[in-house]
Amino acid sequence: MVTLAVIQRAFGDDRAANCAGTVDAAAAAIAAGAQVVLCPELFESRYFPQVEDQDHFAWATTVDANPAVRAMQAVTAGTGAVVPVSFFEHAAPVYFNSIALVDDGEVRGVYRKAHIPDGPGYEEKFYFTPGDTGFRVWGTRHGRLGVGICWDQWFPECARAMTLMGADLLLYPTAIGNELGSQAGNDTADMWRRAMDGHAVCNHVPVAAANRVGTEGDLTFYGSSFVVDHRGRPLAEAGRDTDDTLLADVDLDRARADRAGWGLLRDRRPDLYGVLTRYTAGP
């Protein structure tokens, strides 16, 4: 059994306060017994990619210099806790939307977001280069953890790849709310959840997502952070508009046994999946 905490928060203009509040929430969750803590995407600031503003590039840092990463190293040191930390990475000359996997005070590595959205209110392609790390899965004392970032969660290929790499638990830091432009009025909260429920069921792997709440500019983030087990059954759920910290006990051994017994990975046909490596099904 692994105790997982999922932190859901609203964020304001004070970047230092955003970071400190999230780190404090993580520290409190660890003190309450959490072994793995998941925080929202880009929690140091408001969700800046909803507009194109080149001044925001000044917020990017290297992994070693990032204040949130360093603070999470301090609060996890000596606890054995693991925290994937979302941050705006500068790897000269380009910029990434990245995760630093902090494990008991040490940075175990970085994942750079593979799928980059571009649409009204979510203009990430202006800021972020598509990730060059490939999908990442880290072996920890609390199981093998696969971490995707927000838009990654809509792609079954990402979840399946991490499962094939041995992930026991799939984690998705997120920033998602109302839609703008041609999609205005489309409340995606239910379909967002169903997509990840499907990842859990089709891979027999528990899944968790941490979203933000509150209104920032034209976007109102709908929270709804959650943890489901490997059969898609809810273990913990947050509301749409309140700060919350979820705690859930996740049975990784049961998931491993059912994953083997169900046979979904055994019965794959990779010899037939070549079309998945092309942009079209044509010759």
Active site residues: 41, 113, 150
CA distance 7 to 40: 7
Helices (H), 64-188: 67-76, 156-164
Distance of CA 93 to the CA centre of its chain: 25
CB 5 within 8 A of CB 34: yes
Task: Say how many Å lie between the first and final Cα of the chain, rounded.
Answer: 48
Q: What is the identity of the amino acid at 84? A: P
CB 127 within 8 A of CB 49: yes
Spatial neighbors of 155 by CB under 8 A, at least 6 apart, are: 115
Distance of CA 282 to the CA centre of its chain: 33
- DSSP-derived letter for residue 104 is T
CA distance 178 to 213: 11
